[in-house]
Structure 1
Amino acid sequence: MQTTTLTSTWPQTLCDPSGRRQAKPRNKGCTMVIDKGIGQHAFADMLSTSGEYIDIVKFGFGTSTLYPLPVIQSKIALAIKHGITVIPGGTLLEAAVRLDLIPGFFRQVLELGFTGIEVSDGTINLSRTLRNDLIRDAKSMGLTVYTEYGKKLFGSRIDVTDFARTAEQDWACGAELVTVEARESGKGVGLFDEHGECREGDLSHILRVVPNLDRLMWEAPLKEQQVSLIKSLGPDVHLGNIPVNDIITLETMRRGLRSDTFELQQVPYSEYMI
């Protein structure tokens, strides 16, 4: 069976009814995808269908150490070809701190070809001095740094005053974005309650107190969380911990191509509106 080479495309406005989505490299509406262990072929399939909509891939937790080296090198190189920043999970750096293996961590990050890291203290207590040093050292090595605020313990909440202070210090040290912790479950941590619903009061408080909102990333692994943040902060909100299978779904919501965010469409005046 012969395949026909297509020369036509969808109308541009139909592809992005919001009229707001940037092409890569983006500084608005970045999407961070969490890879929890998919294989090379699945990873390549993900990039062939969704690579244009991914800005950051994070190899979750400490999974980076468990891949055969040729496999992880191949995945990293393929993501970079698609213009994607690739980082190991923040938990891996926390383990390196706890085990006094920071130089070895950075050596392997660079050797494997990672282009960024995540600095977090979701499981350990990281001093402000060491947090500053990790951010600055990574920057000096040419790595893009994403930091994370919040604990992974179920029931933990955001101390908004401390969060604002931490974010400002992280940015001053060279962090690209500061991420609000929500874990991969999206329930009972940070901004979300035990049912995964957004704590609107906490969100409003953050929006009043924290500067540079365009430099915050919100972990939002569940669809309703993504909808809530897009409606509250707009389609240009940075969202993280997006599951592999939800990348295009999220992109439709950013563009007003799903009923949940249909109102984002910039509809021209027409007879159908009379």
Structure 2
Amino acid sequence: MEFLDLPKRTSGTRTYGITSIVDFGVPLKELENILYDYGHIIDIAKLGIGSAYLTPNVDKKVSLYKKFDIKPYCGGTLFEKAYYQNRLPEYTEYLKSLGMDWIEISNGTIEIPLEERLNLVAQLKKDFHVIAEVGSKDVNKEMSTSDWVDEVWSLLEAGCCYVITEGRDSGTSGIYDKSGLIKSDLVDELLKEIDCNKIIFEAPLPKYQMYFINKIGANVNLGNVKLSDVLILEAQRCGLRCETFFMEQNECKLLL
């Protein structure tokens, strides 16, 4: 029975308001139990880092996610490993053999020039839905705000479905500084220049999730969410936590 006025959430096959979880190896049966209850509030599942390459029954895990209408893909580290070893054709065949039709292009660990990444998007979008990630995992590598905006814009223009802002699972790189503080000026500039519905902000901790919900609205796209935090995040989106308590029905800000 519903009796509260809550922020209106997108539903069904969402194009924004996305929750993208990171799977670091949850066992298959445990995952099935989690998805039975919470699959409807998960949209995308990243098999974190290069873990998919070592995951037992990875094909069954991919099929399980798809059964719940969740889009699975492999973390960018596996893409970068394949790129580094000149194995991209083998990698894409591997993804196809698993039934994956989403692929991430990133340069978090190795340097891949933007022009090269744009060429890869042009090639891979023929067979996959492409997600790109901007930002380095190295906390000592800094990008200017203008470079961030240029890269995100260019990757979207090249045909990416979404661009992820790097944050790691620790919240200590990319859009966060090494102490874990959000680079709010950078976020402000991205929101001013880019359609926020096309950005997935990596927000691995509830405090970051609350920041983006309060700043953008209940239907902000959030990534690197832990499976154990999925229900907490949905409660936050719906104004059912102290820090988002006063969100109203009309406060779902879409910065288009």
What range describes the TM-score normalised by the shorter chain of this pair? over 0.9
Partner of 1:102: 88
Choose which of 213, 219, 231 in structure 2 pairs with 1:236.
219
Matched, 1:258 2:246: no
Matched, 1:139 2:122: no
Partner of 1:270: none
1:200-253 Cα distance to aligned partner (Å, 9 max, x none): 233223333x32222111000011110011111111110000011000100111
Secondary structure of 1:151's aligned partner: coil
1:77-102 Cα distance to aligned partner (Å, 9 max, x none): 11111111110000101011100000
Once the two structures are TM-superposed, the CA of residue 155 in structure 1 deviates from its matched residue by 4.0
Larger radius of gyration: 1
Aligned pair count reads 250
Choose which of 191, 208, 230 in structure 2 pairs with 1:207.
191
Partner of 1:17: 6
Q: What CA distance in whole angstroms lies between the structure 2 residues aligned with 1:98 and 1:128? A: 15
Contact 2:165/2:202 (CA < 8 Å) preserved in 1? Answer: yes
1:52-101 Cα distance to aligned partner (Å, 9 max, x none): 01110000110011023xx1111111111111111000010101110000
Moved more, 20-29 or 237-246: 20-29
Q: What CA distance in whole angstroms lies between the structure 1 residues aligned with 2:150 and 2:249? A: 37
Once the two structures are TM-superposed, the CA of residue 154 in structure 1 deviates from its matched residue by 2.2
Contact 2:149/2:189 (CA < 8 Å) preserved in 1? Answer: no
Once the two structures are TM-superposed, the CA of residue 136 in structure 1 deviates from its matched residue by 2.3
What is the identity percentage for the equivalent residue pairs of Structure 1 and Structure 2?
A: 30
Q: CA 1:200/1:164 → structure 2, altered by over 3 Å: closer, same or farther?
A: closer
Once the two structures are TM-superposed, the CA of residue 158 in structure 1 deviates from its matched residue by 4.2
Matched, 1:52 2:36: no
Secondary structure of 2:125's aligned partner: helix
Q: CA 1:45/1:216 → structure 2, altered by over 3 Å: closer, same or farther?
A: same
Moved more, 221-230 or 40-49: 40-49
Q: What CA distance in whole angstroms lies between the structure 2 residues aligned with 1:102 and 1:240? A: 25
Contact 2:149/2:194 (CA < 8 Å) preserved in 1? Answer: yes
User: TM-score, with normalisation over the residues of structure 1?
Assistant: 0.86
1:179-205 Cα distance to aligned partner (Å, 9 max, x none): 110001112x12223332323233223
Q: What CA distance in whole angstroms lies between the structure 1 residues aligned with 2:142 and 2:216? A: 20
Q: What CA distance in whole angstroms lies between the structure 2 residues aligned with 1:203 and 1:43? A: 33
Task: Return the letter of the residue paired with 1:49.
Answer: D
Structure 2 gap ranges (5+)? 251-256
Contact 1:158/1:191 (CA < 8 Å) preserved in 2? Answer: no
Once the two structures are TM-superposed, the CA of residue 135 in structure 1 deviates from its matched residue by 1.5
Contact 1:196/1:225 (CA < 8 Å) preserved in 2? Answer: no
Q: What CA distance in whole angstroms lies between the structure 2 residues aligned with 1:264 and 1:153? A: 35
Secondary structure of 1:263's aligned partner: coil
Matched, 1:160 2:152: no
Partner of 2:164: 179
Task: Return the letter of the residue paired with 1:74.
Answer: K
Matched, 1:190 2:178: no
Q: What CA distance in whole angstroms lies between the structure 2 residues aligned with 1:194 and 1:122? A: 15
Contact 2:38/2:230 (CA < 8 Å) preserved in 1? Answer: yes
Partner of 1:6: none
